[in-house]
């Protein structure tokens, strides 16, 4: 079994999603697909949230823009006989769900800080929920809701992963025979009160690593918009070349030095289990990529 994670650029357009479909359908093994929000949607949701909090009415037309973008993607990648069902999900979560949250923030300027933070996390979680619904319909896959098994806890004001996560992942996936499963990256749930939380920027990579480690996956594949790790930033150095193979420590060192290829904490769960990590390009799937082991 493999875990394949696709970032925002990989699921950001009809063309890139068609690449995702081809990549997943070419796999011989059972796969768990972890997806980010469509490219730019998380930032858009945060912008809309800030506008609603500031009582800026300009967030309102952005709701329709968000719906139209997701529906346009559905029309480009989801089989015709499933498009109505998929669009109904978009309608429910965007027009009904998000509008309620924004209206609450707009009308209540003195919300308790903790509750306000919970509302903001719930809003941002919609990005991955929407993209995973589209990918599930596109692939005819089995859907899973990551907050059911990715748990966090508050420790002295700091949001940390709850160790129960690993057992819950095993309970969610082990014994399943279906070939393709889809879940969200980034979003999680507080183990004490059920409030929606998230794993922060790069959290989708981390989610995929947690699933791979908990299930002893044969490999973790991080599909992004670059061919792998380079010897230097190829945008600045035309002589930069792909690094075909690295150790976990070498990859961690490069991430901590500023290489934004993968989220650095991703490496810890898979390194402990000696699970190889491939970094590959959704837009150039034939490229060999970088193997981290």
DSSP tag of 154: E
Q: How far is Cα 23 from Cα 20, in angstroms, rounded to an integer?
A: 5
CA nearest neighbour of 181 among 221, 128, 141: 141
Quote the pLDDT of residue 236.
Answer: 86
- Stated pTM of the model: 0.94
- On whether the CB atoms of residues 243 and 230 are closer than 8 A, the answer is yes
Quote the pLDDT of residue 96.
Answer: 86
Quote the pLDDT of residue 242.
Answer: 94
- On whether the CB atoms of residues 162 and 238 are closer than 8 A, the answer is no
Quote the pLDDT of residue 114.
Answer: 84
- Helix pair 126-139, 14-25: axis angle to 10 deg: 60
Q: How far is Cα 56 from Cα 4, in angstroms, rounded to an integer?
A: 39
The dihedrals phi and psi of 280, each to the nearest 5 degrees, come to -135, 165
DSSP H or E segment with residue 161: strand 158-161
Predicted confidence pLDDT, tens digits, the chain (293 residues): 999 999 999 999 999 999 999 999 999 999 999 999 999 999 999 999 999 999 999 999 999 999 999 999 999 999 999 999 999 999 999 998 899 999 999 998 888 888 888 899 999 999 999 999 999 999 999 999 999 999 999 888 788 999 999 999 999 998 999 999 999 999 999 999 888 899 988 899 999 999 999 999 999 999 999 999 999 888 888 899 999 999 999 999 998 888 888 988 899 999 999 999 999 999 999 999 999 99
Domains of the chain: 2-292 (3.40.1160.10)
Contacts 24+ apart (CB under 8 A), 235-244: 242/287, 242/288, 242/289, 242/290, 243/290, 244/288, 244/290, 244/291
CA nearest neighbour of 74 among 95, 91, 54: 91
Quote the pLDDT of residue 117.
Answer: 87
- On whether the CB atoms of residues 246 and 255 are closer than 8 A, the answer is no
Q: 275 CB contacts (<8 Å, ≥6 apart)?
A: 212, 213, 216, 217, 218, 219, 220
């Amino acid at each position: 079994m493999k875990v394949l994670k696709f970032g925002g650029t990989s699921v950001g357009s009809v063309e890139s999603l068609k690449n995702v479909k081809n990549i997943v359908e070419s796999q011989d093994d059972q796969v768990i697909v972890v997806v980010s929000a469509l490219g730019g949607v998380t930032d858009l949701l945060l912008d809309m949230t800030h506008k609603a909090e500031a009582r800026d009415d300009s967030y309102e037309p952005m709701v329709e823009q968000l719906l139209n973008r997701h529906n346009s993607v559905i029309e480009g990648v989801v089989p015709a006989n499933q498009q109505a069902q998929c669009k109904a999900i978009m309608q429910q979560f965007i027009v009904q769900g998000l509008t309620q949250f924004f209206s609450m923030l707009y009308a209540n300027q003195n919300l308790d800080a903790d509750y306000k933070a919970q509302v903001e996390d719930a809003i941002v979680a919609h990005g991955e929920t929407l993209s995973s619904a589209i990918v599930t319909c596109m692939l005819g896959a089995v859907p899973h809701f990551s907050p059911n098994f990715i748990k966090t806890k508050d420790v002295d004001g700091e949001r940390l992963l709850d160790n129960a996560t690993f057992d819950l992942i095993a309970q969610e996936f082990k014994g399943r025979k279906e070939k393709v499963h889809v879940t969200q990256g980034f979003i999680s749930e507080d183990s004490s009160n059920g409030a929606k939380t998230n794993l922060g920027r790069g959290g989708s990579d981390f989610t995929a690593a947690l699933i791979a480690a908990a299930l002893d996956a044969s490999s973790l594949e991080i599909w992004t918009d670059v061919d792998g790790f380079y010897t230097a930033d190829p945008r600045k150095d035309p002589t930069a070349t792909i690094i075909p193979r690295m150790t976990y420590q070498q990859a961690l060192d490069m991430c901590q030095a500023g290489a934004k290829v993968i989220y650095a904490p991703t490496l810890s769960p898979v390194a402990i289990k000696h699970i190889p990590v491939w970094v590959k390009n959704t837009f150039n799937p034939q490229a060999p990529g970088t193997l981290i082991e």
